[in-house]
Structure 1
Amino acid sequence: MSVNTDYQETVREVIVELFENLSALLVFIVAGVFLVPILLLLVTSVKSKTEIFTDPLALPQELQIENYANAWTTGGFDHYFMNSVIVVSVALVLILLLSSLAAYALVQFDFPADDFLLVFFLAGFMIPPQVLLVPLYTIMNALNLLNTYFSLIFAYVAFGLPFSVFLLRQFFVTIPDTYAEAARMDGCTELQVFFRIYLPLSMPALAAVAIYQFVFLWNEFLYAIIFITDDAKRTLPAGLMAFQGQYAGDWAQLAAGIVIAVTPTVIFFLLFQRQFMRGISMGTTKG
């Protein structure tokens, strides 16, 4: 009996170890599928034109760092980058401020139709942005906002609010009401309760919203190419398309431009990844 038990335990340990090895192999393969194109892009960005066409998979014999300088200056990425920084920064601040205030109101105040309001916000991020392109274009044209930063900022805020309100509301309901009640007893107004209690406690959720929205806004292409026609006001995704058309045969500068375009999102995520994971995992324990 003891022999059979030991044998079963040994078989179980072998199966578990085999499963762990297969899982590690699968993770390695999946990571390779995603990392190989990125590494190829990085290698291409520091190659010469001749090396790209003669041996595209080989490492460069000499690093061509000037590809980045040429893409930044002659390709116009300097003003594309600044345009994206302006539009995304303003839109992100507005999204965080308005969505946190709306989520606080949904949690702390009793509205006659607060459930309907929550459903209304939920319906907002179920509608694809492409469906609203023509109506928004008509509105922006009527307001004379086309070819301005405001057209993108207003559209981005409108699309960013529904998901942000939902996520922050789910986090706010996990904060004990006793904190707000104690602050009110000390004479705090509702805005003071919001800024002194809820905002400091909700930093992980705010970081999660900020990362999610930053990646979406920084890479948004459709509205950026439709609403902005002046090259001097284009954001990075639209500018990258114009750059591709102008330097279609220069794969080295094009790869350098792509690296410049995606680097901010990677850095932003790496800086706030812990808060992002905490914000996503928290706020799901109470509805």
Structure 2
Amino acid sequence: MSTESDYGIPVREIGSELVEKLSGLMAFVVTGIFLVPIGLLLVTSVKSRTEIFTNPLALPAEFQFENYANAWTTGGFGQYFLNSVIVVGISLVFILLLSSLAAYALVQFDFPADNFMLVFFLAGFMIPPQVLLVPLYTIMNALNLLNTYYSLIFAYIAFGLPFSVFLLRQFFVTIPDTYAEAARMDGCNELQVFFRVYLPLSMPALAAVAIYQFVFLWNEFLYAIIFITDDTLRTLPAGLMAFQGQYSGDWAQLAAGIVIAVTPTVIFFLLFQRQFMRGISMGTTKG
């Protein structure tokens, strides 16, 4: 007579193995779905115009790397790229500095409105950027900041602070207070405690904030296209739209421009992905 030990365990093992294989197959299919468009984009960016229409799915007979050079110079992507670096770089520095200082104050200082201030920052999540487009445009116009880097920088800093303050505050509360107390006993003032103790210990959280904000700011389109109308000041997302309207039939250069626009975000994430995962996971261990 058969027992469960004779048949039950092998059946469960076979079932678990089958589920594991099906999960692997599903992951492979999903990965392929995402990678196929990326592969087509890369192939299109090094094709000639004729090959794009005659053999859209085939590899090029000869790689046309000059498409990137033409997009960088003739298409103006070099200037768009520089504009994005300036706007995003300055915005990111101020977001990291201001949000880390605010998070430190919320954790270390006891003042009556600290809970209200935290809720005030969190309320920023509830307001979509699209809702503030008209009032911000009116303010920038009144201050004569339209068609300048400042209009985008100020808007980006404002939108980047709520999430950054929240994430850094969640990380700062995991740092033992004894570190700050020991630094104060050694004669450090609050700024020295912040820069010498909290900032070095919070590098994973800062990396997580930097990656999240960099990807968002680098790809931001709505404010970039509304606040900046001068082509020499456009960032990459707005420049891509302008290029598409001007060279609508040049798909090879357009694909090359898209690759140029996307590459910095991929490189930035790959460089800091380990710190990003550490910052996200460590910031949820204590509330």
Q: CA RMSD in A?
A: 0.9
- 1:127 to 2:127 alignment: yes
Listed as ranges, the gaps of 5+ residues in structure 1 are none
- In structure 1, the partner of 2:35 is 35
Q: Distance in 2 between matches of 1:65 and 1:146?
A: 37
Q: Distance in 1 between matches of 2:196 and 2:158?
A: 27
- Equivalent AA in structure 1 for residue 276 of structure 2: F
- Equivalent AA in structure 2 for residue 73 of structure 1: T
Q: How far did 1:6 drift?
A: 3.3
Q: How far did 1:4 drift?
A: 2.6
Deviations 1:101-122 (A, max 9, x none): 0000000001202111111101
- 1:168 to 2:168 alignment: yes
TM normalised by structure 1 equals 0.99
TM normalised by structure 2 equals 0.99
- In structure 2, the partner of 1:153 is 153
Extract structure 1 runs of 4+ deviating beyond 2 A: 1-4
- In structure 1, the partner of 2:7 is 7
Q: Distance in 2 between matches of 1:68 and 1:104?
A: 45
Deviations 1:42-100 (A, max 9, x none): 00000010110011011111100000000000000111000000000000000000000
Please give the residue correspondences for 1:36-55 in structure 2 after superposition, counting only pairs within 5 Å.
Answer: 36-55=36-55
- In structure 2, the partner of 1:224 is 224
Q: How far did 1:9 drift?
A: 1.0
Q: Distance in 1 between matches of 2:5 and 2:120?
A: 59
Q: How far did 1:164 drift?
A: 0.1
Q: Distance in 2 between matches of 1:269 and 1:74?
A: 29
Stretch deviating more after TM superposition (84-93 or 3-12): 3-12
Q: Distance in 1 between matches of 2:6 and 2:24?
A: 27
- In structure 2, the partner of 1:86 is 86
The SS at the match of 2:112 is coil
- In structure 2, the partner of 1:110 is 110
Q: Distance in 1 between matches of 2:281 and 2:218?
A: 24
Q: How far did 1:3 drift?
A: 4.6
- Equivalent AA in structure 2 for residue 150 of structure 1: Y
- Equivalent AA in structure 1 for residue 57 of structure 2: L
- Equivalent AA in structure 2 for residue 23 of structure 1: S
Q: Distance in 1 between matches of 2:124 and 2:53?
A: 47
- In structure 2, the partner of 1:285 is 285
Q: Distance in 2 between matches of 1:68 and 1:6?
A: 65
- Equivalent AA in structure 2 for residue 38 of structure 1: I
- In structure 2, the partner of 1:72 is 72
